[in-house]
Structure 1
Amino acid sequence: MTVKPALWLRHEVRSTERRTPITPADAQLLVADGFAVTVEESSQRVFPVEDYAAAGCRIVPAGAWVDAPEDAVVIGLKELPDAPAALRHRHVFFGHAYKGQPGAARLLRRFADGGGVLLDLEYLTDDSGRRLAAFGYWAGYIGAALAVLHHRGTLDTPLRPMTRQELDTLLAQESGPVSALVLGALGRCGRGAGDALVVAGIEPTRWDLEETRDLDRKALLRHDIIVNGVLTTVPVTPFLTPPDLDDPDRGTTVVCDVTCDVGSPCNVLPIYDSTTDWSHPARRLHDDPPLDIIAIDNLPSLLPEEASVAFSADLLPHLKTLGNDDSPWQRADRLFREACASST
């Protein structure tokens, strides 16, 4: 008999994180299926906590997960707070801890010290390695939109959450001719980026594996805007390097790196060393000719409702298999244990 674990939706500590991995509508479906769902209060979550209460969830204060029962599965999206130092629960979120990213070793050590487990959403995949739940489409859409608005000089800061209709209205405003390149155009992120550019009146150049495998760097640098949606798990030849910024023939003035794999040896755009944020979404990397980088690691939170609804729908059927021995979570569990072993 499959044991249904208690699910605990935590508050996100990052102030700009308004998404949720479980919507109230999907929480109601989980409750109806026999899951006990606890939801922490959160003033920033796009859905009010009252909607979860109406769905049959138990409501607790923000941060209460640290005292949750041992068998609770704590579910979130972004980073955990610094305390407690030792993590004893099973946690579901994007850990960014398996490719040597900054802070990865410390996070894995916290799990090892507490006996907990990281079930990383990035590695919840099918047999072919494709993610089963992802924000990629909306990350690409918003990343491309920000790149266009910044290139036009019409990007208002600090950034604020909005609806797709509001964003599309901004994109549809007329502007001069612009050339744009989408890297990883056939993936979720690339498709989202391409759709946003079309809304902006730009028919982008679309490159995927064939074009990036044998990169024409000169052709790449002729585009005004580059949106990168390529995320690799093994080191590859970078698409752009610091010397490319000095190329006098470079036409590119805005790069949006949707993947934000900064600090990892797998980073395909090692031209910057830190992400940007909602207050300062673009940072100047080179003055003559100018080039700005946009690298925000929670882009979909700018369209929190649309992104959450799509992600929650993807995740829901897999949450229902959390207690199964043959579920994709077992693969995520093995990867976690391998990462812990290799980091010691």
Structure 2
Amino acid sequence: MTELKLLMREEFRSTERRAPLSPDSAGDLVRGGVAVSVERSPRRVFADEEYAAAGCALVPAGSWPDAPDDVHVLGLKELPDQPDALRHRHIFFGHAYKNQPGARELLRRFTDGGGALLDLESLVDDHGRRVAAFGYWAGYIGAALAVLRHRGKLSKPLEPGTREDLDKALIADGKPVRALVIGALGRCGRGAGDALTAAGAEVTRWDLEETKDLDVTALLDHDILVNAVLATGPITPFLTAETLRRPRRLSIVADVTCDVGSPAHALPIYDETTTWEEPVLRLDGLDVIAIDNLPSLLPREATVDFAADLGPHLTALGDSDVWRRAVTAFTTARESHDLHRKEDHV
């Protein structure tokens, strides 16, 4: 049996503190016979030494391009622009399967190099449910930031912290707030609902049934809207430029999904994400919070939960229906862009 080799790379994005593996989950893999290497990182929420103590080999940051061909490269967010051609099997959130900006270019890099993208978003069970996701914490933090903005207490730049710190900031201050969560039954929606409840908000929860025939008037009669919908294709917008000209109570939108540039974008009132440095976009009297790595603001909690879900699937890498579906998703996306290679090394 060929030894499974994983290399967890340092995240390229400077504000990313999370990791796909915690030291505990990495240690479980090592004890299960997986060779795990970890690139050193001063930003990661867990220290390098914790991974070494778990049995992982520490390697220099940015060394993954030189790893042997049989190594699976594991990460979370986007890759650097170089090398141009990607020859490894990469596991990360590629955001390339819903025609997002840059999707074709990323898929082209894999095609040219003979590698493959096993997108974390495409790791799903027999019912199409993702096996590992940061959704709960994305929803929790997105809703929390919206509440803090509503109270005039959202400072910038944002800094990572702990749930305990965030919950202290959310303690109800007596100022009433009405909040609507769309996509309330999913991981992300549950997280948003929990944060709003912790803040003492009056929470309305909508899901598929409530949005079949969207009541825009009712939507606008809330202070805060949290979009937690995981759309896989075109969707009827919840808000449009025309909608915003109507009388409304709504003053803050937290778009946790952040499908900017995709046909699945449910809030086409804005076309760029916000950042830790500038978390709020002011638009026609509306505040929009659209940060695409929200869980990194609670990096320890987010990493522990995600790694606990992902780790067991990594032991069966390439040898389960979950991974076969991921390969199919990559092949389908590549073909949809008319990208083909002579040999399939997946």
TM normalised by structure 2 equals 0.96
1:343 aligns with 2:337: yes
Counterpart for residue 308 of structure 1? 303
1:254-333 to structure 2, matched below 5 A, reads: 254-286=252-284, 290-324=285-319, 326-333=320-327
Counterpart for residue 113 of structure 1? 112
Q: Matches of 2:283 and 2:261 in 1, distance apart? A: 16
Shift of 1:244: 1.0
1:169-180 to structure 2, matched below 5 A, reads: 169-180=168-179
Q: Matches of 2:239 and 2:50 in 1, distance apart? A: 46
How many pairs are equivalent? Answer: 338
**Given that residues 172 and 198 in structure 2 are in contact (C-alpha distance below 8 angstroms), is that contact kept between their aligned partners in structure 1?**
no
Shift of 1:9: 0.2
**Given that residues 321 and 327 in structure 1 are in contact (C-alpha distance below 8 angstroms), is that contact kept between their aligned partners in structure 2?**
no
The alignment yields a C-alpha RMSD, in angstroms, of 0.8
1:157-306 to structure 2, matched below 5 A, reads: 157-247=156-246, 249-286=247-284, 290-306=285-301
Counterpart for residue 148 of structure 2? 149
Q: Matches of 1:100 and 1:328 in 2, distance apart? A: 22
Q: Matches of 2:239 and 2:336 in 1, distance apart? A: 30
Shift of 1:203: 2.8
Shift of 1:236: 1.9
2:328 alignment partner, one of 320, 329, 334: 334
Shift of 1:250: 1.1
SS in 2 for 1:204: strand
Alpha-carbon deviations, 1:114-157, whole Å to 9, x = none?
00000000010012111000000000000000000011110111
Shift of 1:176: 0.8
SS in 2 for 1:131: coil
Q: Matches of 2:224 and 2:59 in 1, distance apart? A: 45
Counterpart for residue 100 of structure 2? 101
**Given that residues 182 and 190 in structure 1 are in contact (C-alpha distance below 8 angstroms), is that contact kept between their aligned partners in structure 2?**
yes
1:217 alignment partner AA: V
Q: Matches of 2:90 and 2:263 in 1, distance apart? A: 25
1:279 alignment partner AA: E
2:52 alignment partner AA: A
**Given that residues 77 and 94 in structure 2 are in contact (C-alpha distance below 8 angstroms), is that contact kept between their aligned partners in structure 1?**
yes
Counterpart for residue 83 of structure 1? 82
1:38 aligns with 2:37: yes
SS in 2 for 1:129: coil
SS in 2 for 1:37: strand
**Given that residues 231 and 261 in structure 1 are in contact (C-alpha distance below 8 angstroms), is that contact kept between their aligned partners in structure 2?**
no
1:224 alignment partner AA: D
Q: Matches of 2:41 and 2:277 in 1, distance apart? A: 21
**Given that residues 152 and 175 in structure 1 are in contact (C-alpha distance below 8 angstroms), is that contact kept between their aligned partners in structure 2?**
no
Any stretches of 5+ residues in structure 2 without a counterpart?
339-346
**Given that residues 285 and 293 in structure 1 are in contact (C-alpha distance below 8 angstroms), is that contact kept between their aligned partners in structure 2?**
yes
Shift of 1:266: 1.0
2:83 alignment partner AA: P
Shift of 1:173: 4.4
SS in 1 for 2:202: coil
Any stretches of 5+ residues in structure 1 without a counterpart?
none
TM normalised by structure 1 equals 0.97
Q: Matches of 1:56 and 1:322 in 2, distance apart? A: 19
Counterpart for residue 343 of structure 2? none
Q: Matches of 2:153 and 2:214 in 1, distance apart? A: 32
Shift of 1:214: 1.0
Shift of 1:327: 3.1
Shift of 1:234: 1.5
SS in 1 for 2:281: strand
**Given that residues 39 and 57 in structure 1 are in contact (C-alpha distance below 8 angstroms), is that contact kept between their aligned partners in structure 2?**
yes
Point out 4+ residue stretches in structure 1 off by more than 6 angstroms.
Answer: none
